[in-house]
Amino acid sequence: MLSIDAIGKRFGEVTALDGCSFNVERGRMLGFLGPNGAGKTTTMRAIFGLVELDTGAVLWDGRPIGPVERLRFGYMPEERGLYPRMRVREQLAYLGRLHGLNARDADAAASEWLTRLGLADRADAKVVELSHGNQQRAQLAAALVHTPELLVLDEPFAGLDPVAVRTLAQVLRDEAARGVAVLFSSHQLDLVEEICEEVAIIDRGRIVAEGNLDALRRASERRRIALRLDGAPPGWEPEIRGADVVERTNGDLRLLVDRDVDPQAVLAAAERTAPVIGFSYGPPSLAELFLELVER
Amino acid sequence: MSGRRALTLVATREIRERLRSKAFIASTLLILALLAVSAVIGRLFDPQRTFDYAVTAPAPPGLAVALQRAAEPFDEAKVKLHTVDSAQAGRRLLEDDKVDALLLVSNDRLVFRKNVDAQVAAAADAAVRAVRNKLPPEPELTTSTLHPPDDEPGDAAVLVAYAGSLLLFMSLAFYGQWVISGVVEEKNNRVVEVILSAVRPRDLLAGKVIGIGTLGLAQLVLVVGFAVGLLVTGVFDVPASLGADVALVVPWFVLGFALYAVAYAVAGALASNQQNAETAAQPVTYALLTVYFASYIVLAANAEGTLATVLTVFPLTAPLVLPARSALVGVPLWQHALAIVLVLAAIYALVRFAGRVYALGLLHGGSGLGLRAALRIAREN
């Protein structure tokens, strides 16, 4: 299990991490969310010793992480990087060997991942000759080639087309099913909602929510109400104390209300205004929860 | 993984990737070709020598023919025999530089003005043997000079000294540039984050320097070996004894490279993301240039002065000055030893410092890390 234990880091006047703590268990996939500059990348780099922490510690199975442990981790940094003029397969094999594989296993693993990620026909191309999407796949393969026990991926979905997103999501699910602890950051909250059961949300260097996504949503003090009226007067909204209009497009109205607001009363008020053709009530979406938690 | 295994992997990758670059192979072939061409041109334009001997009358019969035959192996040198009435007259000719040597056959002596010319002496010796029907090994003639030999190094020694230090300077700068561009490339395209997640910074640094250094050494050994071969086989008109001075370039490349490559690597690590390798390399390259020209000026002014001695053992200048000075005037053993000890100490200190600053610099993106800031952080941690 990966334990981020009350880590703190200052860069000059800026506090990047302020007692950030959370865990990722083996076989689990954790979506790591937070606004830009909240401390996601610093946290991930700290796992690999790329940031010297001021306070706190990063632990693997309860023990401090050293160079030996890191060989069993896979990392995809925020800013992608491979040797541009090195051939893809050789580069993957090289990285595999740096992580302790012997030459034959490294070659085999490199070929296997290239096939699995649909890059087999580009195996002998130089990285610089690959398209942006294929470079992303090569970068992912670089994190996976040595069969790590912990995968740390910084914005792995950024810039991918929908097909590649689906492939990557499947790979991450498979890795988690194999028993790997998977930690990835993302701004694509709908995607995270779809593939993750657990999330940690960081804001200003502190974790503001952590745990099972459904439980977090249900625990929210807010509820979402979506209404579709057939010909409501422009600007109409039900009079509810503390309600926030999240979205308003031709007749569609999305509200966040306090948890104790009676949805039946809202529906009744709407029906008095115009015919209701759509109505839903439930816990806030991940995106709504996120905005609620990191509201400035 | 053990540090040594990681270091070996890093070094092997450097060598393999760079051996594939056509630039490396082309530059090696080009240097060899230039060397061969300069040897051929040197021979083409080498004027035929004439050995001028003065000999007291009467000259032994057959001496002229024997001298001519003995001189032939020396690039088919011609022989001119001046018969003089007395040894006194011969000495006068020698003083006036009209002849190369005075042959006093009855005394078994060969007299030069200041410096003994090995070729002139060898030809005379062989000729006298031939006339007397004697075979080697004992030297037939005793050589002497009218004046004490001066210490001016020969043209060949000067050539070896300056070509050697130029070769060293260029090799250090060239391979240093490879080191820094490798470091800057890794830093700028962020592959260094992936590498450093598995490899300790000092192993990455050492692997890179050793890998590129090995390549540079291989190229230099090839060039120097070729040059020594040309010397020994006599293609270059240079005494073969200078071969040792040429070969001295090789170990001093290793020591000099270890020193300057680590400095280049640190400069690369401290560079900002926007800086390219050339600008980041400037401080080290300028230092190297200064060292090169300072050595040149000091050696040209007085290769035996105190300043030259100091530069021979000072770590930054030793790699360029020591081989050159050795060819020019010779370097005492204690200075060799002291220079090696001091440069090794400097390498050790620099590597220790670099190991700390390298990681800080590499992982510090954006505006780059100034040397002072890096030092401060290194001290704090």
B19 touching A, CB under 8 A?
Answer: no
The neighbouring-strand residues paired with B102 are: B54, B111
Helix (H) or strand (E) holding B376: helix B371-380
Q: Which of B254, B198, B263 is nearest to B2 (CA)?
A: B198
Q: Are B242 and B49 in contact (CB under 8 A)?
A: no
Question: Which residues does chain A have within 8 Å of residue B381's beta carbon, measured at their own beta carbons?
Answer: 52
Q: Which CATH superfamily is domain A2-213 in?
A: P-loop containing nucleotide triphosphate hydrolases (3.40.50.300)
CA B309 distance to own-chain centroid = 17
B194 touching A, CB under 8 A?
Answer: yes
pLDDT in tens, A78-104: 877 899 889 999 999 999 999 999 999
**Higher pLDDT among residues A196 and B39, named by residue:** A196
Burial class (CB in 10 A: 0-12, 13-18, 19+), B89: middle
Give the start-end residues of each E strand in B196-262.
Answer: none
ipTM passes above 0.85: no
pLDDT in tens, A223-277: 999 988 887 777 777 777 778 887 888 778 888 888 888 888 888 888 888 888 8
Fold of B49-145: D-Maltodextrin-Binding Protein; domain 2 (3.40.190)
Pairwise CA distance, residues B40 & B201, whole Å: 48
Pairwise CA distance, residues B139 & A177, whole Å: 90
Q: Do A99 and B192 touch (CB under 8 A)?
A: no
**pLDDT band with cut points at 50, 70 and 90 for residue A199:** very high
Give the residue from chain A lying closest to B7, CA to CA: A98
When pLDDT is averaged across residues A183-191 and rounded to a whole number, the result is 92
When pLDDT is averaged across residues B87-97 and rounded to a whole number, the result is 86
pLDDT in tens, B189-245: 778 888 988 888 888 888 988 998 898 888 888 888 887 777 767 666 566 566 777
H helices present in A211-294, as ranges:
213-219, 263-273, 286-294
pTM for the full predicted model: 0.77
Q: What does DSSP assign to residue B49?
A: P
- Token pair, residue A206, equals 């502190």
Percent of chain A at pLDDT exceeding 70: 100
Give me the residue spans of the domains in chain A.
Answer: 2-213, 220-294
B249-270 and B277-301 helices, crossing angle to 10°: 140
Residue A157 pLDDT > 80? yes
Mean pLDDT of chain A: 90
B29 vs chain A: nearest CA distance in angstroms? 23
Q: Which CATH architecture has domain A220-294?
A: 2-Layer Sandwich (3.30)
Characterize A120-133 residue by residue with b for buried, 16 or more Cβ atoms within 10 angstroms of its Cβ, and e for exposed.
eebbeebbeebeee
Residue with tokens 């120097």: B224
- Write the CB contacts of B331 (distance below 8 Å, at least 6 apart in sequence): B312, B322, B325
**pLDDT band with cut points at 50, 70 and 90 for residue B71:** confident
**pLDDT band with cut points at 50, 70 and 90 for residue B134:** low
- Write the CB contacts of B272 (distance below 8 Å, at least 6 apart in sequence): B366, B367, B368
Q: Do A81 and B193 touch (CB under 8 A)?
A: yes
Give the residue from chain A lying closest to B362, CA to CA: A50
Percent of chain B at pLDDT exceeding 90: 11
Residue B333 pLDDT > 70? yes
Q: Are A220 and A203 in contact (CB under 8 A)?
A: no
Say how many C-beta atoms besides its own lie within 10 A of residue A244's C-beta.
Answer: 15
pLDDT of the residue at A171: 93
Q: Are B199 and B247 in contact (CB under 8 A)?
A: no
The residue of A98, A127, A146 whose CB has the most chain B CBs within 10 angstroms, and thus the best one to mutate to test that interface, is A98
The neighbouring-strand residues paired with A4 are: A22, A58
A197: amino acid identity, one letter: E
pLDDT of the residue at B135: 60
Q: In which residue ranges of chain B is CATH 3.40.190.10 found?
A: 49-145
Q: Which of A178, A189, A180 is nearest to A34 (CA)?
A: A189
Residue with tokens 């011969």: B90
Pairwise CA distance, residues B37 & A96, whole Å: 47
Residue A29 pLDDT > 90? yes
Residue B144 phi/psi, 5-degree rounding, is -150, 170
Residue with tokens 């422009």: A234
Q: Do A100 and B191 touch (CB under 8 A)?
A: no
Pairwise CA distance, residues A56 & A68, whole Å: 20
Question: Which residues does chain A have within 8 Å of residue B193's beta carbon, measured at their own beta carbons?
Answer: 45, 48, 50, 75, 77, 79, 81
- Write the CB contacts of A43 (distance below 8 Å, at least 6 apart in sequence): A4, A7, A17, A20, A32, A202
H helices present in B72-189, as ranges:
87-95, 118-132, 155-188
